[in-house]
Amino acid sequence: MESCLFSYPGHELSLPNIVKAENTYVYDDQGNRYLDLESGVWCTCLGHCNPEILRVMTRQAAELAHTGFGFTMPVVEETARTLLDLHGFQGGRAVFLCSGSEAVEFGVRVTRDALGQADFLTMAGSYFGAYGAAHGKDQWHLFDWRPCKACEKSVCSHDCRHWTAIPFETITSFVFEPGSAGGIVGFPPRKVVRAIAEAVRGNHGIIMVNEVTTGMGRTGRWFGYEHYDIRPDIVAMGKGLGNGYPVSAAVVSERVSNMLPDETIAYAQSHQNDPLGAAVAGAVIEGIRSGNLIEHAAQLSVYLMTGLNHIRETTGSIKEIRGRGLMVAIELSGDEAVARQVRRELLAKGYILAQRPGLNVLRIDPALTMETAELEGFLNALDDVLAHL
């Protein structure tokens, strides 16, 4: 069937006839089964059509799905508190929204309202969403951290020209995305992230973390910022929070909430704080906890990275593997056409990976419910495809 949907430039529509999904697999209308190593767009952390999420979702939908932001109810309050507790933000405030882009944008709005006038710094290449101020980053300072990768100094200081190029005298907000950059996967060094966070704190500024991709256990910890030992003031979450249902959230610490006039913010949209989204988010958190899925993801990651490194050594077709937890990018030797070919051949063998147009990078962001045997099958298939390139 010819698709009538808009597509992304250069993006291939690989499986036009998907008809159902279950946990880590999707099925097409011919009954073919594919292992979804992308978990949708890195969303279904508990697996597609998770029965417990489905149960909570249908019960809540039957009871009360939507009210409007002028109301509150126990399920919304409880999930908001759970999220605040996860970040140690007792006394802070939360909001439920519909997409990761919106949660980040909300955080930017809070920052601006709290500070009056904010001067933003972020890492070059960070991805914050499909639209809005954080997408455009107009007049934001972009710090290129790539030279820091090879830096051997123990601290960032005034004898570093990259460090002194940051105009800290004006910077009042650091917006940090701990590792994904739209799926390309890169981890700014801990030392420089901590140093920037400290400098912004010293300016009485605001640290916001974008956990849309790296949150909900994806990196082998609850949140990506935990790998950096920094304490944010605002956290934006999405994707895995809804396990495929479009709910996102932003949480704000008590300190920053208190900086807002009357702790209010003039932001309102139709589905803000909907009970259905909040119920789903609460069930996702509970599912991750009760399934010990963060520990599971950390263990699976070791298995996956070991297997990938072995393939890298034996085939010579992989330039670099970057990964943390179950967020992994494989940079292939050769150009984009090679990545496209490898992706297509893996698809024919029943494995779904993503490739960003223009880049020779394949992404792996599976559900936290994936099993070792499934990854073993994938590693064998990858090995086979690369060996016959």
Ligand X SMILES: Cc1ncc(COP(=O)(O)O)c(C=O)c1O
Residues that bind ligand X (CB under 6 A): 99-101, 104, 127-130, 177, 180, 182, 210, 212-213, 238-239
Q: Which is nearer to ligand X, 186 or 350 (CB)?
A: 186
Min dist CB 23 to ligand X, Å, is: 22
Min dist CB 147 to ligand X, Å, is: 23
Q: Is 122 exposed, middle or buried (0-12, 13-18, 19+ CB in 10 A)?
A: buried
Q: Which is nearer to ligand X, 102 or 374 (CB)?
A: 102
Q: Which is nearer to ligand X, 163 or 176 (CB)?
A: 176
Min dist CB 90 to ligand X, Å, is: 26
Min dist CB 102 to ligand X, Å, is: 7
DSSP bridge pairs for 204: none
Q: Which is nearer to ligand X, 163 or 225 (CB)?
A: 225
Return the exposure string of 172-211: e unless at least 16 CB atoms fall within 10 Å of the residue's CB, then b: bbbbbbbbbbebbbbbbeeebbebbbebbeebebbbbbbb
Cα end-to-end span (Å), the chain: 31
State phi, psi for 95 to the nearest 5 degrees. -145, 145
Q: Which is nearer to ligand X, 10 or 91 (CB)?
A: 10
Min dist CB 129 to ligand X, Å, is: 4
* Amino acid making up residue 360: N
Rounded Cα distance between 244 and 367, Å, is 11
Q: Which is nearer to ligand X, 130 or 387 (CB)?
A: 130
Residue, CB closest to ligand X: 100
Helix (H), strand (E) at residue 121: strand 120-123
Supply the angle between the helices 275-290 and 51-63 in degrees, to the nearest 10.
160
Rounded Cα distance between 186 and 202, Å, is 27
Nearest to 362 by CA among 244, 185, 128: 185
Q: Which is nearer to ligand X, 46 or 354 (CB)?
A: 354
Min dist CB 148 to ligand X, Å, is: 20
